[in-house]
């Protein structure tokens, strides 16, 4: 195995599951994991039901897992996006839910760790998507190497590995994979980045994968500090936040606190909403002044001396 693909740095609890799509990246990851931890690897394939080729993906995964003696679970989902939601986001959320359900329902429910094959190219694409949307530090942090979501622990051990290295290794091993037809559809922004922007970056900045990864790591560290600061500030201003104490903070610090406070309630506030909320907070100088900003499915409103969030 090439040194770039080494899993020496990765120490997952055994046994664990690999998310297997049937594409080159996940096939390479499954093969590498089986070589390093024989008999300790499981696989989960998510059947999205969105395209005719999906049954072929299942067949390929079944054949590969049979060759490698890896237990496989195929989890069916219906990943239809809601109005205003992107198809990619809907499919991603459906996958996470499917992984969790598959692990809970199989192998005695003892496996809680899933390994994903996302690599350096995926990390760059994620950062560029975040930039295109005007994201802040959390978005620029891109994908973490490890994250826990509702009891499911997700690992990405190959975020520093170029995608082509995975394909080259599979070819040298004589292992085949399937190509998702939707990966060439440039009406999806991520595919535009992959097929149009990434080659230009490669030509202009050959080391862009490693430098982008370094920037993502810096952003992730900064986000950790921002969360720590917000936690400290929330203890100071109270829960729910006291308006008078918020008014004594700088706009940037208050925005950081309010974003964190709303996230605790399961609400993602936009920059525009936070800006509008700050204007109302600063203007709140009289007992009768009202604060009323729609955020998510609810409203941030004044309740006496404090702010609160109401979901009607």
* Same-domain check for residues 30 and 170: yes
Give the pLDDT band of residue 296 (cuts 50, 70, 90): confident
- Whole-prediction pTM: 0.88
pLDDT tens for 83-128 read 555 556 666 777 888 888 899 899 988 999 999 999 999 999 999 9
Question: pLDDT value at position 137?
Answer: 94
Please count the structural domains in the chain. Answer: 2
* Same-domain check for residues 13 and 153: yes
* Same-domain check for residues 164 and 282: no
User: What is the CATH classification number for the domain harbouring 173?
Assistant: 3.40.50.620
Q: Is position 279 within any domain?
A: yes
Strands of the sheet containing 292-295, edge to edge, are 292-295, 298-303, 306-310
* Same-domain check for residues 112 and 254: no
Question: pLDDT value at position 248?
Answer: 96
Q: Is position 208 within any domain?
A: no
> What are the tokens at 285?
């100088």
Question: pLDDT value at position 77?
Answer: 79
Mean pLDDT value across the chain: 91
* Same-domain check for residues 156 and 28: yes
Structural contact between residues 123 and 213, judged by C-beta atoms closer than 8 angstroms: yes
Distance CA(70)–CA(33), nearest Å, equals 11
* Same-domain check for residues 300 and 152: no
Residue-wise burial string across 76-93, b where 16 or more C-beta atoms lie within 10 A, e elsewhere: ebebeeeeeeeebebbee
Residue for token digits 């049954």?
A: 55
Q: Is position 196 within any domain?
A: no
Give the range of the structural domain holding residue 180, as residue numbers without chain letter: 3-119+142-185
pLDDT tens for 131-169 read 999 999 999 999 999 999 888 999 999 999 999 999 999
Give the pLDDT band of residue 80 (cuts 50, 70, 90): low
User: What is the CATH classification number for the domain harbouring 265?
Assistant: 1.20.59
Question: pLDDT value at position 251?
Answer: 96
Question: pLDDT value at position 81?
Answer: 52
* Same-domain check for residues 107 and 14: yes
* Same-domain check for residues 161 and 53: yes
Which letter does DSSP use for residue 242 in this model?
B
Q: Is position 251 within any domain?
A: yes
* Same-domain check for residues 148 and 283: no
Q: Is position 299 within any domain?
A: yes
Structural contact between residues 123 and 143, judged by C-beta atoms closer than 8 angstroms: yes
Q: Is position 195 within any domain?
A: no
Q: Is position 202 within any domain?
A: no
């Amino acid at each position: 195995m090439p040194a770039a693909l080494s899993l020496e740095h990765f120490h997952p609890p055994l046994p664990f599951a690999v998310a297997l799509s049937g594409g080159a990246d996940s096939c390479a990851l499954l093969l590498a994991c089986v070589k390093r931890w024989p008999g300790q690897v499981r696989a989960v394939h998510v059947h999205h039901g969105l395209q005719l080729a999906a049954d072929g993906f299942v067949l390929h995964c079944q054949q590969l897992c049979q060759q490698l003696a890896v237990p496989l679970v195929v989890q069916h989902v219906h990943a239809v996006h809601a109005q205003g939601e992107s198809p990619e986001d809907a499919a991603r959320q459906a996958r996470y839910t499917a992984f969790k359900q598959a692990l809970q329902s199989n192998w005695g429910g003892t496996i809680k760790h899933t390994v994903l094959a996302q690599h350096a190219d995926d990390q760059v694409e994620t950062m560029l998507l975040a930039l295109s949307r005007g994201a802040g530090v959390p978005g620029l942090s891109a994908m973490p190497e490890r994250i826990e979501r509702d009891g499911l622990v997700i690992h990405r051990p190959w975020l520093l590995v170029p995608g082509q290295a995975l394909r080259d290794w599979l070819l040298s091993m004589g292992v085949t994979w399937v190509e998702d037809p939707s990966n060439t559809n440039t009406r999806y922004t991520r595919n535009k980045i992959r097929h149009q922007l990434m080659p230009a970056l490669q030509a202009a900045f050959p080391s862009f994968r490693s430098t982008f990864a370094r920037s993502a790591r810096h952003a992730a560290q900064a986000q950790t500090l921002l969360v720590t600061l917000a936690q400290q500030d929330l203890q100071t201003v109270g829960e729910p936040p006291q308006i008078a104490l918020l008014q004594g903070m700088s706009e940037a610090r208050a925005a950081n606190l309010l974003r964190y406070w709303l996230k605790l309630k399961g609400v993602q506030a936009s920059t525009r909403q936070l800006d509008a909320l700050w204007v109302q907070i600063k203007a709140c100088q009289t007992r009768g002044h009202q604060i009323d900003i729609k955020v998510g499915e609810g409203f941030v409103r004044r309740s006496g001396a404090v702010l609160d969030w109401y979901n009607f």
